[in-house]
Amino acid sequence: MSIAIITVLMFTSMMLLLLTGRQIFMIIAAVGTISALALYGKGATNMAFFGGYSFMGWYPLIALPPFVLMGLTLARSGIADRLFQAIYLWMGGIRGGLAMGDVGFSCLVSMMSGTNVASTVTSGTISLPAMLKRKYDKILAVGVVLAGGGLGFLIPPSVNFILYGVIAKVSIGHLWIAGIVPGFLLAFMYIVYIIIRCRFQPHLGPPVPPEERVGWGDKFRALGAGISPLILIFIVLGLLFMGVTTLLECSAIGAVGALAIAAIYRRLSWPLFKEICDETLKTTTLVLWIFMAALTFSSVFDGLGATHAVEQILYSVGGGPLMIIVVMQLTFILMGMVLDDTAMLFIVAPLYIPIVAKLGFSLVWYGVLYIVNCQMAILTPPFGFTLFILKGVAPKEVTMADIYRSVWPFVVIQAVALALLIRFPQIALWLPSIFFRGAS
């Protein structure tokens, strides 16, 4: 059997089995193991175990649970409410202001949480009801919350960049810095879109009535109350970027700092702490078992020399190195419709990264492209995970159909941003180049 047929068979059976709703990691691992047994016989029995064991050499993964704990603490303890209160008071009076404020809010929550799930849940429970209460257009409000939640992928401390960095063997500090400009560029594009829509269709985002607005004193007081978690984030990231502490130490400092802030505001209780720890264990375990399963799956290809085959297929499209990158992005978008972002990374990245490196492209830049793709992947129906998560936490009047309809304008904006990033790699690479001048 040719490599191409094996590859197609493995991917098709995986996609079909995923439809049964069995846990994703189990399907990926089962397809990988059974293919390996069929291809290599008894020699394949070690592969599943080695997939798991190779983890022990990947130190950056240790930062995962502390960062997840930090994000959950800041999101669950109600500290984020204060931040939104500030945004509400500052932006409410402007047409579409709450929607724009939510984009900013999402950026800030993303900085606190590092995962898009946490930031989508936070926006979905705090700012979505507030917008709906103010008679904002449902479709616009839902879209903003979903798109804003995805910013968590790009803005440090992004957990997905840690995972990519582990696979591509790239410095995670580099990746985080590279994500900043594209992250804010996307946020800016969302805000411009909201301004334009609300300029021509004012009923989409009516301003808060004047009698509910408050004076400057109250505005600044609210801002002060909302800002403490951000100070923590700047300290944690600052320590890392200045080279004072390692990534792992930063994650621990962030976790303890977040708990301390929650305790200072008297929001930390024993039941809440237990709940946060439980959630941390679930998130970490979920991600790492998918990771492990995908390693088993992709190690089947190692034995086949599939990287070479994929390279051949990509070259056969023609059009030079940049075209290959574009084709890779298209495959990401297609796979993102069926797989979640972590599974997509772990299955495809080991195949693509050597090719990207060989073509002479920056792996940091490629990482940013991948992350923007993740944002599209989680938003594109039929299988966008964030969509289901939002449905779970959104007010009752938001239907699944509303959610499906709401994402398209933002997916288009993301595609534009992706094209810009491919055309102008400096958007991602400029900040790291001045930051790490001399270092690399």
- Binding residues for other proteins, rule: CB under 8 A, are 17-27, 29-34, 37, 44-50, 52-53, 55-56, 59, 61-62, 64-66, 69, 245, 248-249, 251-253, 255-256, 273-274, 277-278, 280-286, 288-290, 296, 338-340, 382-383, 385, 388
Q: How far is the CB of 431 from other proteins (least distance, A)?
A: 26
Amino acid at 152: G
Residue whose CB is less far from other proteins, 38 or 439:
38
Which residues have a Cβ under 8 Å from the Cβ of 331 and sit 6 or more positions away?
348
C-alpha span between 440 and 438 (Å, rounded) = 6
Q: How far is the CB of 32 from other proteins (least distance, A)?
A: 8
Q: What angle do the packed helices 363-379 and 385-393 form, to 10 degrees?
A: 50
Residue whose CB is less far from other proteins, 72 or 187:
72
Q: How far is the CB of 282 from other proteins (least distance, A)?
A: 4
Residue whose CB is less far from other proteins, 59 or 234:
59
Residue whose CB is less far from other proteins, 35 or 127:
35
* Letter string b/e over residues 212-240, b meaning 16 or more CB atoms within 10 A of that residue's CB: eeeeeeeeeebbeebeebeebbeebbebb
Residue whose CB is less far from other proteins, 66 or 226:
66
Decide: residue 311, CB within 10 A, 0-12 exposed, 13-18 middle, 19+ buried.
middle
C-alpha span between 54 and 44 (Å, rounded) = 16
Structure tokens at 306: 């599939």
Q: How far is the CB of 22 from other proteins (least distance, A)?
A: 4
Q: How far is the CB of 339 from other proteins (least distance, A)?
A: 8
Of 176, 182, 195, the C-alpha closest to 101 is: 195
Residue whose CB is less far from other proteins, 327 or 337:
337
Which residues have a Cβ under 8 Å from the Cβ of 398 and sit 6 or more positions away?
128, 132, 138, 142, 390, 391
Q: How far is the CB of 171 from other proteins (least distance, A)?
A: 16
Amino acid at 27: I
Residue whose CB is less far from other proteins, 29 or 198:
29
Q: How far is the CB of 336 from other proteins (least distance, A)?
A: 12
Contact 146, 375 (CB under 8 A): no
